[in-house]
Amino acid sequence: MRFKSSRNNEPTDYFADGEAALDFAMIYPIIYPQNAEQYQVKASGDNMFDGFLDAIYGAYCTAEGGDDPTIDGNDTTRECSKFKPTNVISVSWGGEESTSLFFASGDGGVAGGHGDDCGGSDRAIFKPGALSGCPYITSVGGVELPAGSKIGDTLIVPASRYSPGGRFSNYFPRPAYQNDAISEFLSHHTPAFKGYNRTDGTVPKDSNGGVYNMAGKAYPDIAALAIRGVYGFRRDIHASGGTSMSAPLFADITVGGMNKTNIASCNGNSFDATPGWDPASGLGSTNYPDMAAYFGKL
């Protein structure tokens, strides 16, 4: 693994992270003998990607006048276009042409990244994530192969250990490429709770106005295995999962039916898995031979 740091810091065992170890354990058996690069940047919860985008895409440094201290902070250290982006970039915790961007849909169902952040005055409106809701990013949800099953058996949406995120953006309107799939879902699998149609970035004050935005970009787009990932970390063997497992797993192979199950909710409401696209698992897991044949013809 090649390590890319915006502060030229070398990795140490003290700062090692088990979730990152899980990610690398998922990708290397698939991409070897190709290599992987880890981009590590100084970031905060409200500003995770400013330095990263500066480093891989120099035009971002000066876009719209450059950094705004009220948004980007006061850090004056910038490394514009210092690193060439890899062909595939996977972001597991919360570019240019030819670069595919994948982002984990989150592990909190409709209730924010970690399942504890519903909106509205009555805390019942579904809370979408900003990046998975972006139409230029492929959002990856999670599915599970139940214990005792074999490859090729029916997959399900996990519910007992975590809830893969699935929502509709309040900021980005639904892109044209989603119209057929989302219209099919809303017409034939209408949720039992009320939705709203807004493209101005606003949300209702409470759930009486609806709990999800039917006009927004829907996610996840796709799903991959997200349970029982095995990895080595600090001289021990661990098992874990989540969409931070499924996102890099799907990204590795880039250039099914789902059992109905509930996911983490806002005031008891959540989306279910259905045939076709759904907000719990997107289009579901991929059939690799079919996917490879399709992209090979492009």
As a whole number of angstroms, the distance between CA 67 and CA 284 comes to 38
| Separation of alpha carbons 173 and 215, rounded Å | 6
Provide, for the chain, the percentages of residues in helix, strand and coil under a 3-state DSSP scheme, each rounded to the nearest 5: 25, 25, 55
Q: What residues are annotated to the active site?
A: 19, 23, 244
Residue 118's identity, in one-letter code, is C
Please return the burial class of 220, using the count of CB atoms within 10 Å of its CB with bins 0-12, 13-18 and 19+: buried
Q: Tell me the C-alpha to C-alpha distance, in Å, between residue 152 and each of 164, 285, 288.
A: 21, 11, 12
For the chain, the C-alpha Rg in angstroms (whole number) is 19
User: Which two tokens mark 144?
Assistant: 């599970």
Question: 152 and 130 in contact (C-beta within 8 Å)?
Answer: no
**CA–CA separation, 164 vs 220, rounded Å?**
9
Instruction: Tell which phi-psi region holds residue 284, choosing left (phi > 0), alpha (psi between -120 and 50) or beta.
Output: left
Region for 210 from its dihedrals, namely left if φ exceeds 0, alpha if ψ lies in -120 to 50, beta otherwise: left
What CA–CA distance (Å, rounded) separates 186 from 24?
Answer: 37
